[in-house]
A = this chain, B = another copy of it.
Amino acid sequence: MSESPVPHESPIYRRIADRLRARILSGELRDGDRLPGENALMAEYGIARATARQALAVLINEGLAVPRRGSGVYVRLFKPIRRHGSRRLAREQWGQGRSIWDADTHGRPFSVDEVEVTRERASEEVAGILESREVWVRRRRYSVDTRPVQLATSYFPAHLVDGSAITLVDTGPGGVYARLSDLGLSPVHFTEEVRARMPAPRECELLDLPGGTPVIVIERTAYTAAGRPIEVNEMVLDSAAYVLQYDFDA
């Protein structure tokens, strides 16, 4: 339900936002176009600067526009990534050498950067889940259509993956799940915990988030058939770029 019903007497900033939104969604204003500025809105509608700013803020918060310092507010259309909780982790995916990430992007160009692989002492929380004081940590950032959309940090029990390609930047076809499988540690059961919060300054910077954009935080634990926790993955997602989908039966 993209839109909640607007009461007839909605405030003026909201009605202005509605008109600008309609111009974006109809295609009249396109990706990268500059929206009317505060001065133009003040003149057109006879409103105060604060009201013009509120109208633009609505579109920024909806992820439809992005402010550029000292330059104005620009249309930012981005087809949300539909992240399908269960289907993407199906064994057919990584078992055939495809990365899990392919399942999310459906052929859209994506890239991984800021990759960092280290062996570290685990936090209390991660040590508790993985039953291991030492962990291999894989940090990376994913971008889609050149836009950074997700930071991910995976933790593995060090003694179980030492010497494997999981400790290398390039993990080879199928990624870390295929490598866990090579080690007889196939992940077969998953738990995802989903939260939302405002981003930390460092997350704002790495995800290039405009003000007022929350992040979705997913903490996934992967288990082997024997029930051993084999990976914890903490993902921080730009909420304007994602829809998470989960399917299940009664």
Contacts of A194 in B (CB 8 A): 194, 216, 243-246
Find out whether the CB atom of B189 lies under 8 angstroms from the CB atom of A242: no
Scan A216-247; emit 1 where CB is below 8 A from any B CB, else 0. 10010000000000001010000110111111
Q: How far is the CB of A116 from chain B (nearest CB, A)?
A: 13
Query: Which single residue of chain B is at the shortest CB-CB distance from A6?
Result: B200
Interface residues of A in 183-235 (CB under 8 A from B): 186-198, 200, 202, 212, 214-216, 219, 232, 234
Inter-chain contacts of A189 with B (CB < 8 A): 247-250
Total identical chains:
2
Given contacts A1-B125, A214-B214, contact A248 B248 (CB under 8 A): yes
- Assess whether A123 is interfacial by the CB under 8 Å rule: yes
Known: A86-B248, A214-B239. 20 other contacts (CB 8 A): A1-B219, A2-B125, A3-B123, A188-B249, A189-B249, A189-B250, A190-B248, A191-B245, A192-B246, A193-B243, A194-B194, A194-B244, A195-B242, A195-B243, A195-B244, A196-B214, A196-B216, A197-B240, A198-B214, A248-B248
User: Quick one: closest B residue to A92, CB to CB?
Assistant: B250
> Which residues on B sit within 8 Å (CB–CB) of A239?
195-197, 214
Question: Please, how many angstroms separate the alpha-carbon atoms of A185 and B189 in the complex?
Answer: 31
Assembled-state Cα–Cα distance A125/B126 (Å): 42
- Do B196 and A215 touch (CB < 8 A)? yes
A7: nearest chain-B partner, CB-CB: B202
* Residues of chain B contacted by A198 (CB below 8 angstroms): 61, 212, 214
